[in-house]
Amino acid sequence: MINEEGKPIPGAEPIKAMEAMAPRYNGLGAGYAGYGIYPKYKDFYALHIMLNDKESKIAVEDFLKSNVNVEYDEPIPTKEVSGVQDSPIVWRYFVNPGPAGQSSDQALDPDDLIVDLVSRINSGFEGALVFSSGKNMGVFKAVGYPWDVAKFYRIDEYEAYLWLGHGRYPTNTPGWWGGSHPFNIIGWSVVHNGEISSYGTNKRYLEQWGYKCALLTDSEVFAYLFDLLVRRHGLPIEVACKVISPPLWKTIDRTHGDEGKLLQAIRMTYADALVSGPSSIIVAINGMKGILGLTDRLKLRPLVAARKSEMVYIASEECAIRSVCPNSDEAWTLKAGIPLIAKMEGGPS
């Protein structure tokens, strides 16, 4: 959900919406992402890190100190809940790439530096996992039902202009803390319902661009694909959606002029980035203060949306929306492969 005027939404709201869809989860994972939750440190990258033990924490902190400026750090506030077991240490660090992290002869894009930093920690430190790395936002996830994970991370104590929520029902990959949704890289956070049958292909494509898929869960490729296509390749977000969920050739052949040419070029260039399989995703967009909802081209997973004044909701089932917004101004289902984008007016693109 997003408040297009930037007004804060209390954490109790996404929790209530998640409760309405209880039959969809099996307790093997859940998570939330809140945007606008760290106004005091809004210009710093907020790294949320899971750590197995004190040794891992020390090792990671040494690594951080030699690569970034750590402005402030503290434990992520949690509460003991019987439904969330075996929790790692969860800590947050507010950092900026300082001169220590840059090579002397070129000023590197800070986003690239952080993406690289996250990748190095996640693949290089066995007992550590960075699960959130954006500015003025945070992902909170664990193994458990959505209501228990919310209690654990004290979600009801936060306010955000944008919330994502997810409850997991894993199939092909095991349920583990790192495998819960949302998946995040810097300001991109993704929640996903479905299966990616093209995972092997997408993963190897992303590896060519330096992304390591360390989280054993197919859904993570969405986060990296958006980062690559939009932030690094500079594609408009609507075009990135066409890369990921393009129309069928039958439709493209019937599309004339510039649009047809573009679609053909997209499918030719970005064949490895096409994501196959029944999927619906909701993405918090990096650097835009916006949200998007998208389904696969055959619409094999549900996704509905509603608007009430400046609030826009996207969910797998209408009942989730109704539980927090009983009387919307309009409600509709998304169309296959056509993104719904909602963003704050005047928010930076």
Partner 1 sequence: MDIKSGHTAHSKNGGGTILSHTTIPPEFLVQIDPQKCTQCKRCVVECSFGALQFEDKLIAINEKCSACQRCVTFCPQSAIAIIKNPQAFPEHATWTEKIQRDIWKQAETGAILLVGNGTNLPYPTLFDHMLIDACQVTRPSIDPLREPMELRTYIGKKPPKLQIKVEGPKQNGGFKLETPISPNIKLDAPIMFAAMSYGAVSLEVHKALASAAKNLGTLMNSGEGGLHKDLYPYGDNIIVQVASGRFGVHKEYLETAAGIEIKIGQGAKPGIGGHLPGEKVTAEIAETRMIPVGTDALSPAPHHDIYSIEDLSQLVYALKETTNYKKPVFVKIAAVHDVAAIASGIARAGADAIVIDGFRGGTGAAPQAIRDHLGIPIEVAIAAVDDRLRGEGIRSEVSLIASGGIRCSADVAKAIALGADAVAIGTAALIAMGCRVCGRCYTGLCPWGITTQKPELRWRLNVEQAAKRVTNLVRAWSRELEEILGALGMNSIESLKGNRERLRGFSLDHITLEVLGIKPIGK
Partner 2 sequence: MRITAKGLSFRALNQLIRECVQKGAREIEIVEVNGQRYIGAGIDSHVIIVIQGTPGNDLGAFAQSPKIIVYGNAEDGVGNTMDNGEIFIHGNAGDIVGYSMRGGKIYIKGNAGYRVGIHMKEYRDHFPIIVIGGTARDFLGEYMAGGRIIVLGLNGSDEEIVGEYVGTGMHGGKIFVRGKVCEDQLGTGVGIRPMTNEDWAEIKGLLTEYCAVFKTSLTDVLENSYTKIVPTTYRPYEKTYILT
Q: What are phi and psi of 168, to 5 degrees?
A: -100, 150
Length of the chain, please? 349
Chosen from partner 2, partner 1, none, partner binding at 72 (C-beta under 5 to 8 Å by type): none
148: left (phi over 0), alpha (psi -120 to 50) or beta: alpha
Given 6, 8, 10, 21, the residue binding partner 2 (CB under 8 A): 21
Q: Which residues pair with 279 in a beta bridge?
A: 194
Closest CB 82 distance from partner 1, rounded Å: 17
Q: Site size for partner 1, by CB under 8 A? A: 17
Stretch that binds partner 2, among 15-23, 146-154, 172-180, 255-263 (CB under 8 A): 15-23
Please give the Cα distance from 230 to 188 (Å, whole number).
10
Closest CB 6 distance from partner 2, rounded Å: 28
Given 22, 26, 65, 157, the residue binding partner 1 (CB under 8 A): 26
Closest CB 156 distance from partner 1, rounded Å: 26
Alpha-helix residue ranges (DSSP H) falling in the chain: 12-20, 54-65, 110-124, 146-153, 199-208, 220-226, 237-244, 249-253, 257-269, 318-324
The order of strands in the sheet holding 69-75 is 69-75, 89-96, 45-51, 128-132
Stretch that binds partner 2, among 14-22, 134-142, 197-205, 206-214 (CB under 8 A): 14-22
Stretch that binds partner 2, among 93-101, 218-226, 235-243, 315-323 (CB under 8 A): 315-323
Chosen from partner 1, partner 2, none, partner binding at 322 (C-beta under 5 to 8 Å by type): partner 2
Given 278, 310, 331, 338, the residue binding partner 1 (CB under 8 A): 278
Stretch that binds partner 2, among 100-108, 151-159, 227-235, 296-304 (CB under 8 A): 296-304
DSSP string, 328-344: -SEEEEPPTT--EEEE-
129: left (phi over 0), alpha (psi -120 to 50) or beta: beta
The footprint of partner 1 on residues 217-276 (CB under 8 A) is none
Can you count the helices (H) and strands (E) in the chain?
10, 18
Given 22, 107, 216, 265, the residue binding partner 2 (CB under 8 A): 22
The footprint of partner 1 on residues 283-322 (CB under 8 A) is 300-301
**Amino acid sitting at position 261:** K
Given 13, 195, 218, 318, the residue binding partner 2 (CB under 8 A): 318
The footprint of partner 2 on residues 238-277 (CB under 8 A) is 251, 254
Q: Interior CA angle at 95 toward 94 and 96, to 5°?
A: 145
The footprint of partner 1 on residues 171-200 (CB under 8 A) is 171-174, 193-195
Q: Under the rule (CB under 8 A), what is the footprint of partner 2?
A: 20-23, 251, 254, 298-299, 302, 304, 317-320, 322-323, 331-333, 335-336
